[in-house]
Amino acid sequence: MLSTCKICCGRIPQRWIFAIMGFLALFNAYAMRVCLSITITEMVIPMHENTTHFYDNTCPVRNESGKGGNNGTQSYAKRYEWSETMQGIILSSFYVGYVITHLPGGMLSEKFGGKYSLGLGILATGVFTLITPLVVEYGEAIGLIVVRVLMGLCEGTTFPALNAMLAQWTPPEERSMIGSLVFAGAQLGTVFANSLSGLIIHYSAIGWPAVFYVFGSVGILWFLIWLVTCFNNPDTHPFISERERNFLQERMHAHTHKKPPSVPWRHLLKSVPLWALIAAQVGHDWGFFTLVNDLPKYMSSVLKYSIKDNGLLSALPYLTMWICSVVTSCLADWMITKGLMSRTNVRKLGTTIASLGPGAFIIGASYAECDRTTVVIMFTVGTTLMGTFYPGMKVNALDLSPNYSGTLMALVNGIGAFTGILTPYIVSELTPNQTLAQWRLVFWIVFVVFVLTNLIFVLYANGEVQYWNDPEFVRREREERRMKIANEKGEVGKTKERLKIFST
């Protein structure tokens, strides 16, 4: 049986099977995470529900049947009176748990492999997504906050585990392409969650609970396929061809090692390129999480789109963002391979486009006010340019240290994820009345954060493997430190012995 599978599956490059399943891992993770952003607009009683006039710097209600309602199929799902502040807390609660498990997840993935830390995290998130309607029925806002924190705890291992596995499965010349393919699951998961959530709520007789049933089930199904198709590294994969195994070992042996020493924290935390990467991640996440969590609310409360249109239009920017990431990833690998631009400058260029472009177009959208077509175009173009972030800084942790990529991703993504806690709450506090002027301030803050963090990355980033990635350097330094400590103890012992002799 095993030999038959090896003959059949060995013809397929297993690094690309892993890339597809890794892509689907993020696809499901983001779908389960983001579906609440659309669904919450139908879980709450909307502000100004009966308003038909343009006042207080807000847009008039669109002249269409069933605005904001479930005009496809009548739903009797319960709605709740949650304030804007409470909605902000609910949307940010996921990230409270999310930041906690990043570092443990990264270190466990480096030591034992990422297969189970990733797989079990997605499985548990799927289960919590399935039970969300039941929890909300009995626990309302508090119950939803608790289940979202638990989902965040489960998903916190996702990026560190994937990065640890990418370090084992991606040769340097394919790193931008495979890494961007995997990480692009975040965009398509967001597209899928936003568009399908709107359609499910529009047509489902049970209303918003159906969203959680669908996405939770898909997450569990992914886990079952992941178990039998993906493995921690090429050496433990039962179906990989000898040719591919030898190719990966040859291309990656210089910087990726099976059992490197424990994390050299002292060097890692003093690494200027690492802190530049963290700054860029904070800037990206500030803008990305603001859009992911709150763009559906802007479409619903400010532009007055129906739930069906809201889902489709909120999804569009992430679809074009994914296309941009795929195209620019291939271009980035080509430029590096051909020697047209250094790896460092490719990372800086991609990150700059992904920061300044979205920032400028988001500001433009806020000044387009109620010109809905222009607003949608501005948001779409701005978010599309964010796609160059993936061949830019997202794969930079793999550049800096393949051996400790899981820990690096845990630090970078974990610190960046704190913005997921802050931004929904800040938006809820700055937009209590959901007016255009209030939202314009939100977008200006996004722009300023983009500019400042990108400046840090451009000045201090690096795309080359760092010296502390080398196991021999780490071992040698630790041995020298142990010898120095031993010598110092020996000198102290000799001094005490002399004093003892002198005193007698």
> Which pair of structure tokens corresponds to residue 300?
């619903």
Q: Specify the CATH number for the domain of residue 450.
A: 1.20.1250.20
Among 197, 215, 233, give the residue marking a domain's end. 233
Summarize pLDDT for 267-313 with one digit per residue, the tens: 889 999 999 999 999 999 999 888 877 777 788 778 877 766 777 77
Same domain (yes/no): 341, 454? yes
Distance CA 457, CA 397 (A): 13
Confirm if 234 and 448 have CB atoms less than 8 A apart: no
> Which pair of structure tokens corresponds to residue 202?
């529009």
Least reliable range by pLDDT among 58-67, 318-327, 436-445, 470-479: 58-67
325 has a pLDDT exceeding 80: yes
Same domain (yes/no): 176, 304? no
Same domain (yes/no): 284, 228? no
DSSP β-bridge partners for residue 44 = 80
Does residue 133 lie within any of the structural domains?
yes
Same domain (yes/no): 329, 407? yes
* Mean pLDDT confidence for 136-163: 93
> Which pair of structure tokens corresponds to residue 327?
């195209």
pLDDT tier for residue 359 given thresholds of 50, 70 and 90: very high
* Mean pLDDT confidence for 255-277: 83
Tally of structural domains, the chain = 2
Does residue 491 lie within any of the structural domains?
no
| Degrees to nearest 5, angle at CA 320 with 319 and 325 | 100
Same domain (yes/no): 455, 356? yes
pLDDT at 62: 60
Does residue 41 lie within any of the structural domains?
yes
Which one is predicted more confidently, 69 or 34?
34
* Mean pLDDT confidence for 51-64: 56
220 has a pLDDT exceeding 90: yes
Give percent above pLDDT 70 in the chain.
87
157 has a pLDDT exceeding 80: yes
Distance CA 430, CA 436 (A): 11
pLDDT tier for residue 126 given thresholds of 50, 70 and 90: very high
pLDDT tier for residue 503 given thresholds of 50, 70 and 90: low
pLDDT at 66: 41
Summarize pLDDT for 394-421 with one digit per residue, the tens: 888 888 988 887 788 888 988 998 998 8
Which one is predicted more confidently, 456 or 323?
456
Summarize pLDDT for 420-473 with one digit per residue, the tens: 889 888 988 898 888 888 899 999 999 999 999 999 999 999 988 888 888 888
Neighbouring residues of 50: CB distance < 8 A, sequence distance ≥ 6: none
pLDDT at 70: 45
Q: Percent helix, strand and coil across the chain, each rounded to 5? A: 80, 0, 20
* Mean pLDDT confidence for 186-195: 85
Does residue 384 lie within any of the structural domains?
yes
Same domain (yes/no): 228, 306? no
pLDDT at 303: 81
pLDDT at 363: 93
Does residue 250 lie within any of the structural domains?
no
Q: What is the DSSP letter of 232?
A: S
Residue of 162, 163, 203 whose CA lies nearest to 66 = 203
* Mean pLDDT confidence for 130-141: 94
pLDDT at 304: 77
> Which pair of structure tokens corresponds to residue 246?
């030898």
Same domain (yes/no): 309, 191? no
Same domain (yes/no): 222, 349? no
Least reliable range by pLDDT among 17-21, 88-92, 407-411: 407-411
92 has a pLDDT exceeding 50: yes
141 has a pLDDT exceeding 50: yes
274, amino acid identity: L
3-state secondary structure of 293: helix
| Tokens 């929904």 found at | 424
48 has a pLDDT exceeding 70: no
pLDDT tier for residue 1 given thresholds of 50, 70 and 90: very low
Same domain (yes/no): 293, 204? no
> Which pair of structure tokens corresponds to residue 452?
């400042």
The whole-chain average pLDDT of the chain stands at 84
429: containing domain: 279-469
26 has a pLDDT exceeding 50: yes
Same domain (yes/no): 44, 174? yes
Does residue 35 lie within any of the structural domains?
yes
pLDDT at 57: 65
* Mean pLDDT confidence for 10-30: 89
476 has a pLDDT exceeding 90: no
pLDDT at 52: 43
Does residue 501 lie within any of the structural domains?
no
Give percent above pLDDT 90 in the chain.
34
Does residue 257 lie within any of the structural domains?
no
pLDDT tier for residue 68 given thresholds of 50, 70 and 90: very low
**How far, CA to CA in Å, does 365 sit from each of 298, 303, 307, 424?**
11, 12, 20, 19
Distance CA 453, CA 456 (A): 5
> Which pair of structure tokens corresponds to residue 488?
């110092």
| Degrees to nearest 5, angle at CA 149 with 200 and 113 | 95
Distance CA 309, CA 300 (A): 9
Same domain (yes/no): 175, 310? no
Distance CA 108, CA 355 (A): 32
Same domain (yes/no): 176, 290? no
* Mean pLDDT confidence for 351-365: 93
